[in-house]
Chain A
């Protein structure tokens, strides 16, 4: 009782913060009037991701995302100009601190509250690519219709770090290219899961980042649990990145009695040749989680041994492979 009241207060606080930080956003190109009642919306914050954007937008358009709502955190590489020309993108701009907006989450919570209400919303980074059961034959709309009919409000997709064979900067990524032509490998079975007692979500850690950079500080390894697809209601908030939400019921994307709920994966195309430069830049800006500890660890780890690949790495084929390996599940969707 007490706890649920406390969580309600926390939720209010994040909502208030979202409102306050929302004032830092300046609309650059608003096409929100064109959003229709049943549209699926994608939300993202980005900075200097110009080279990735064409493939990113294309990928999600093909899945069936109808409109993109994007916050540009002061890009200098032309991302903003390029995005403003896209017919299905609404764009906001801010020069404020990413870190002090709780890593962009305050901005997105504000946009979600204003434009996401009643829509299926997908909150992703520009290097995250959503894969769900039957994604090769059924559009995203099929999934959201099924979730609606099953009275499910949120859908889990674990972050799966993808990496190339050989050094990370071994092959250059070209604009518009499928990043998984280069970074096509992943760890299939070194993940640890623990349950959060307060928020009820699962914390998943592991994968190549834990294996390489956080051997000795496993508690600081990045979290891989994500709940990117939510049927948004104006009272919802993301509590910490897209790892968990409030109210708590949205975090119960797993079954506790032995069954499997349906789930997907977010393929993470972070480890491309663009990564070392990004790590360098982020180190200087100190705008990332835990005082950029992650990026520091990468920089040190990568200068020691620039290859994430090992002989047990698995080469990505399709979602069925991920489901067989036990990284995601069809649940009772057939």
Chain B
């Protein structure tokens, strides 16, 4: 007993001939169907190439439009010929011209001999979730499809919509329960002849003639009527991408295909010399026989589909440029923004770098240039510190920085003296963790040696900027994680916020802070704020500072690094 192959071909007939000869010479009869639309000359060549090979037949040719009835008609014709001409065939396998056997044919024959009554055909009911890729499920069986999906897409869509709207649907013949599945099957003579010789075949054919893509449903549905031993899987390894077209195998898939232990693979690139040479040679056997295991290939292709549909979040490049609203974030991983901390503490960035074990940038959006950690002028990914380049596209600057340093959390300082264009992007970014000590920008003014009128003007300007910035962060659309302390609040109890921040950026360290940064001297700051008020400028962002006092609660803490328990 043996297995016969039905081969549906339309292009790359040379390869089809090569495979057909390989199969026929090893005792498997082959019936070849060539698409009616294929030109005469290559078909003639195919006949020439296979002249004299026993057990190869050519069947009557049908027009095989994609998704049309022609493919089923072709299969029927070929199957009838196969059953009639080759009585030694017990299983019939449907293959295409771009299929390639991955294991010696004898192994397939043995495998099927051990399961003489099993029909291998993927067959799932339409109510099961998502077998099809981006197509119709149930409606394939209940609507009419007179228009070609490929060539008359608009008419196709309109007509489907119209039928839905009118509530039209066709009656499914009695006893038929729609099933779908891969069109590459392997059926027993018993089942196949039952389907083809059934008295209700004319009725079935009439019905399926108008179903959409009947080659994925005709045999898959009818097999349920005539077979009592359906193994719902295909022996042909065939993977589809997100548009529903088959993935193609190339020479570099050789090891992957070899290890998959599948019997037949589809679809092979016709110029994959090495694949054809390897798998059509006789010394391919020798490995232990295992059940087909396409897991690895599945994963490879699943990854490819995911890359095409979801991509790498936070990456902006020539072929991935999500429009606004398609992504919750312009960056690929979490980062922290500190506002006001460098004004309250001396050397805050070096302290934070030490405490959290990372490099902390200065003001990346300073007006003069980007102050990268360690005073570098170029940073990871050859990102330049030039203000002109940065300000031309601050969003790109930020995305690039976070992308270039993926795996290492970025922290940088920000404040009302910086270029503000980036703040909208930060506010809309779920990856941004923003910690603000509001009003801290006034400390440098307090220390500055300037005319008071100038200080007052500058203070008013900075306050306005920071107010706008905080508004932005607090908008309902804002996605950033924001913490705001007023200056007074923060100075009251600086340890708790600092601990939270360090825990957040290096969660694994789990240690208490042993060293705090040196807080700047704020003696007289309360009076300074009062002076501003007296000049008619109302400072609102610093919180309630005790007027007249030196503004330094817990005087003993000042100016000295101290230990916490």
User: Which A residues form the contact surface with B (CB < 8 A)?
Assistant: 134, 137-139, 141-142, 145-146, 149-150, 156-158, 187-195, 202, 204, 206, 208, 210-211, 214-219, 221, 225, 253-263, 310-314, 326-334
Mask, B340-383, CB within 8 Å of A = 1, is 00000000000000000000000000000000000000111111
CA gap between A137 and B251 in the complex, in Å: 7
Chain A to chain B: the 8 pairs with minimum beta-carbon distance, closest first: A189-B381, A332-B308, A263-B319, A334-B304, A187-B382, A189-B404, A192-B396, A215-B386
A-contacting 9-mer, from B322-330, B488-496, B525-533:
B322-330
What's the dominant secondary structure at chain B's contact region? mixed
> Closest Cβ of chain B: how far from A298's Cβ, in Å?
16
Q: Check A146–B307 contact: CB distance below 8 A.
A: no
Which residue in chain A gives the minimum CB-CB distance to B321? A254
**Nearest chain B CB to A44 CB, angstrom units:** 22
Report Cα–Cα, A218/B316, bound state, in Å: 19
Chain A, Cβ-Cβ closest to B311: A260
CB atoms of A333 and B381 under 8 A apart: no
B313 at interface by CB-CB < 8 Å: yes
CB distance from B377 to the nearest CB of A (A): 8
Expressed in whole angstroms, the Cα–Cα distance for A217 and B384 within the complex equals 14
Q: Which of B164-172, B212-220, B240-248 participates in binding chain A?
A: B240-248
CA distance A269 to B353 in the complex (A): 40
Q: A193-B318, A255-B321, A259-B310 are in contact. List 17 more A-B contacts (CB 8 A).
A: A145-B269, A150-B243, A156-B319, A158-B318, A188-B381, A192-B392, A202-B321, A218-B388, A255-B308, A255-B319, A260-B311, A260-B315, A262-B319, A310-B378, A326-B403, A328-B317, A332-B241
Contact residues, B226-256 vs A (CB, 8 A): 241-243, 245, 247-248, 250-252
A-B contact pairs, 7 of them (CB 8 A): A138-B250, A158-B318, A218-B388, A255-B320, A261-B308, A310-B378, A334-B303
Most buried by A among B316, B382, B404: B382
Other-chain residue from A194, A221, A312, A331 in contact with B319 (beta carbon distance below 8 A): A331
Residues of chain B contacted by A138 (CB below 8 angstroms): 250-252
Q: Is the CB of B388 within 8 A of A257?
A: no
User: Shortest CB–CB separation between residue B438 and chain A, in angstroms?
Assistant: 32
Choice from B245, B317, B327, B396 contacting A150 with Cβ under 8 Å: B245
Q: Mark B378-400, 1 if CB is under 8 A from A, else 0.
A: 11111110101100110011001
Smallest beta-carbon distance A278→chain B, Å: 24
Which of chain B's residues have a CB closer than 8 A to the CB of A193?
A: 316-318, 321, 393, 396
Chain B positions within 8 Å of A141 at CB level = 271
B320 touches A261 (CB 8 A): yes
Within 8 A of A (CB), among B396-432: 396-397, 400, 403-404
Given contacts A138-B252, A146-B248, A204-B318, contact A192 B307 (CB under 8 A): no
- In Å, the complex CA distance between A219 and B392 comes to 8
Cβ of A301 to closest chain B Cβ, rounded Å: 13
Chain B: residues with CB nearer than 8 A to chain A? 241-243, 245, 247-248, 250-252, 269, 271, 300-301, 303-305, 307-313, 315-323, 326-327, 378-384, 386, 388-389, 392-393, 396-397, 400, 403-404
A210 to B386, CA, bound (A): 10
> With A142-B271, A330-B304, A330-B307 known to touch, is A225 a contact of B381 (CB < 8 Å)?
no
CB proximity of A130 to chain B, nearest CB, Å = 14
Contact A328 B319 (CB under 8 A): yes
Please, how many angstroms separate the alpha-carbon atoms of A146 and B270 in the complex?
12
Q: Taking A310-B378, A329-B317 as contacts, is the C-beta distance between A257 and B308 under 8 angstroms? A: no
Given the known A-B contacts A138-B251, A189-B381, are A254 and B319 also in contact in the complex, defined by CB atoms under 8 Å? yes
Q: B residues within 8 A CB of A137?
A: 250-252
Report which of A202, A254, A312 forms a contact with B379, defined as CB distance below 8 A: A312
A residues in contact with B248, CB < 8 Å: 145-146, 149
> Chain A interface mostly helix, strand, loop or mixed?
loop
Write out the residue numbers on chain B whose beta carbons fall within 8 Å of the beta carbon of A215. 384, 386, 388-389
Minimum Cβ distance to chain A for residue B160 (Å): 21
Q: How far is the CB of B250 from chain A (nearest CB, A)?
A: 5
Beta-carbon nearest neighbor of A331 in chain B = B308
Partner of B307, one of A158, A204, A217, A332: A332
Known: A188-B404, A326-B312, A326-B403. A254 touches B320 (CB 8 A): yes
* Nearest-Cβ distance from residue B96 to partner chain A, whole angstroms: 14
Q: Which residue of A lies closest to B320 (CB)?
A: A260
| Nearest-Cβ distance from residue A115 to partner chain B, whole angstroms | 24
CA distance in complex: A149, B270 (Å): 13
Chain B contacts of A158 at CB under 8 A?
317-318
B294 to chain A, nearest CB (A): 14
In whole angstroms, what is the CA distance A149 to B241 when docked?
A: 12
CA distance A145 to B316 in the complex (A): 27
Known A255-B320, A258-B322, A310-B378; judge A329-B307 contact (CB<8 A): yes
Residues of A with C-beta under 8 A to B241: 332
Q: Are B388 and A217 in contact (CB under 8 A)?
A: yes
Which residues of chain B have C-beta atoms less than 8 A from A202's C-beta? 318, 321
Contacts of A333 in B (CB 8 A): 304
What chain A residues lie within 8 Å of B318 (beta carbons)?
A: 156-158, 193, 202, 204, 225, 253-254, 263, 327-328
Instruction: Identify A218's interface contact among B252, B315, B389, B400, CB under 8 A.
Output: B389
* A326 adjacent to B304 (CB under 8 Å): no
Give the chain B neighbours of A253 by CB distance below 8 A.
Answer: 318-319
**Is B400 touching A256 in the complex (CB atoms < 8 A)?**
no
Q: How far is the CA of A254 from the CA of B323 in the complex (A)?
A: 11
- Given the complex, which residues of A lie within 8 Å of B309, measured CB to CB? 258-259
Chain B nearest CB, measured from A221 CB (Å): 8
Q: In the complex the two chains form, is B319's CB within 8 Å of A256's CB?
A: no
Tell whether, in the assembled complex, residue B271 and residue A139 are in contact, meaning their CB atoms are under 8 Å apart. yes
Contact between chains at A134 and B396 (CB < 8 Å)? no
User: Please, which residues of chain A bring their CB within 8 A of the CB of B404?
Assistant: 188-189
Q: From A189, A216, A219, A332, give the contact of B304 (CB < 8 A).
A: A332
The complex places the Cα of A219 from the Cα of B453 at a distance, in Å, of 38
A333 and B253 CA atoms in complex are apart in Å by 12
Q: Which of B247, B379, B397 contacts A192 (CB 8 A)?
A: B397
Give Cα A121–Cα B322 distance, bound, in whole angstroms.
28
Closest to A159 in B: B318
* In the bound complex, CA of A240 to CA of B515 (Å): 59
A193 to B312, CA, bound (A): 16
Query: With A141-B271, A215-B384 in contact, do A327 and B251 touch (Cβ < 8 Å)?
Result: no
Q: How far is the CA of A334 from the CA of B304 in the complex (A)?
A: 6
Residues of A within 8 A of B303 (CB): 334
Interface centre among B248, B269, B320, B322 (most CB of A within 10 A): B320
B384 contacts A210, CB within 8 Å? yes
Do the beta carbons of B384 and A256 come within 8 Å of each other?
Answer: no
In the bound complex, residues from chain A placing their C-beta under 8 Å from that of B397 are 192
Task: Kindly state the separation between the CA atoms of A62 and B300 in the bound complex, as whole angstroms.
Answer: 28
- Report the separation of the CA atoms of residues A253 and B320 in the bound assembly, to the nearest whole angstrom: 9
Q: How far is the CB of B113 from chain A (nearest CB, A)?
A: 35
Q: Complex formed: what's the CA distance from A195 to B395 in Å?
A: 13
Q: How far is the CB of B310 from chain A (nearest CB, A)?
A: 6
Whether the pair A332, B242 counts as a contact (CB closer than 8 A) is yes
Most chain A beta carbons < 10 A, residue from B301, B307, B318, B388: B318
Q: Which residues of B contact A330 (CB under 8 A)?
A: 304, 307
Complex interface: chain A residues within 8 A of B386 (CB)? 211, 215-216, 218
A206, A217, A329, A332: which contacts B305 (Cβ < 8 A)? A332
Once the chains bind, are A211 and B271 in contact (CB under 8 Å)?
no
Give the shortest distance, in Å, between B238 (CB) and chain A (any CB). Answer: 14
Instruction: Give complex CA distance A188, B389 in Å.
Output: 16
Q: Give Cα A99 to B380, complex, Å.
A: 38
Q: With the chains together, A179 CA to B309 CA distance in Å? A: 36
Residues in B neighbouring A328, C-beta threshold 8 A: 317-319
